[in-house]
Structure 1
């Protein structure tokens, strides 16, 4: 019956659309549900430590239902972005309504949408990779597909990784490090690939050009379409597309900040870092928020075995554990003194336990 929990994320776009048509303060319904109601029920329902038996993992991993939910979301995301641009083109939202509508867009397209893109982007299926790229185009963060898979997963928990937050680094400092650092990293990854083929970095086969032009083309198409529909140039659509993109990928970066805060891998005598294990990412097995995020919070297992599908990700008791699910931790990360007060003690305990294990 647990599989039906993965339909919960569709509550968020339903609230978003419902809130808009209700008008006024109801435009905040989605963001208040995500960052208010979910944390409360996360605390009430607690942690889910259940792992599927090893002998059933293959069967569950191959069930079409779990893929179907992700595919449905991918197509829904495209439709929702078109609808949101249409709403903006009407120019009927008051300022406070617009802010709520924008934050709801971030919660749906950035919070759940990028999570779906992340899951699909790790798979070998060409179809799933294309869906991942399309979703990332909707939030102007297409280079994430390159950097996350071929950069972050290789260099996580080391100084080489821009998406690993350092101890005592605030989210705001990390944001600059990760956003600009991931773009540079993706460019270097593509340049290295092309150089191995004897081609220039500036060759049109460089995927980074697609990362730039695909979202731009989408923005121009949406703006032109809504302008034709309304009978005049609706520049507000382009502004909205950029604003919701920045908010959406900023929410992704808040999650990156949470997932790897202060965790480091040991540099070995041969000059390489130790293998990534389930000890090298913060874990959160809170039942409800994991439904809404397709078990992204079981991040320790994801980094140890990146090709495992979301439905069979495992809870490890000896992984570093977050005190709450991502919705709560995102709010905490926005207030650095509170974040440091809560997380530095946990990080110190993790470092101590790892040191003791190595020297036992």
Structure 2
């Protein structure tokens, strides 16, 4: 990232941070939540209008359509993450941010105009239909187990199957559906809602930052025009990798910001709360916990910057994003846990966002592939590289 790009990203990040701290944070007590305690679309739309007025809506994509570099994006997305509502307000949240990235990279002119434009404008939410129910033997961390099928029917495709944990499906206007054809995996852009896409249920989950929750969905003879296929039949797995490598890193960026804020709150608490005749911060156990948080947060920042630099270089970045996903999610879990512990009973209540950050970070260790799958992928790469070196 050259000096001009860095300065641009830093200037955007400063505006975003000011907006999140001054405008978004007060909304954390807003009662507009659904029955799963997720923000309602009415709340999201109001926040996005405030972001539009402040000039920080979709801030990682410039007015001319260019994306900031991944390193620049890291600076900006971390600031949106200072509140669980920040990514929603600034339109940098999952799954929309990853879907925008994918469409921007490989979408046709028609798909960009029809589906990408409303996402960039913050006027629509989207969902990514890939994961399938375990009881069906469907795809989870192993996409090769895909059970959802698509078949040609004249100029259309018919899609049938079930999907699970589809973030934001309830209330979304745009969907990216992954299915398998004779040629291989395919991706399609669809308008939502559609009567052929039925939400079976939205299970209550540990996390609650994403509108629409994580739905179980049935696709029953979903008809999609051929021109709404992303690329060509059989290229779906390749496009999934285009999306997932930076998307995993984006999760790291946003939740790094959330843990920065949680640590600020825990630090303030430790410097005000008295126990056994002195401030908590003066007790070695508390002081050392906060010191460890500083060390871990710096390590997370450096890991994100390193992985972002690899992606900016044009390398595929699959192994690097897996390393970052594991290291950052596991390390931030420790940071969030210490914040709760420092605050004691106060850290367990909804009176501050520390409790929510703890829950969200726990879910982050599962999003876009659990820790164990990424370690397994890296282990296979180690064996492959070693075997190649011996040949």
What TM-score, normalized to structure 2? 0.26
Structure of greater relative contact order (alpha carbons < 8 Å, 6+ residues apart): 1
More strand by share: 2
More helix by share: 1
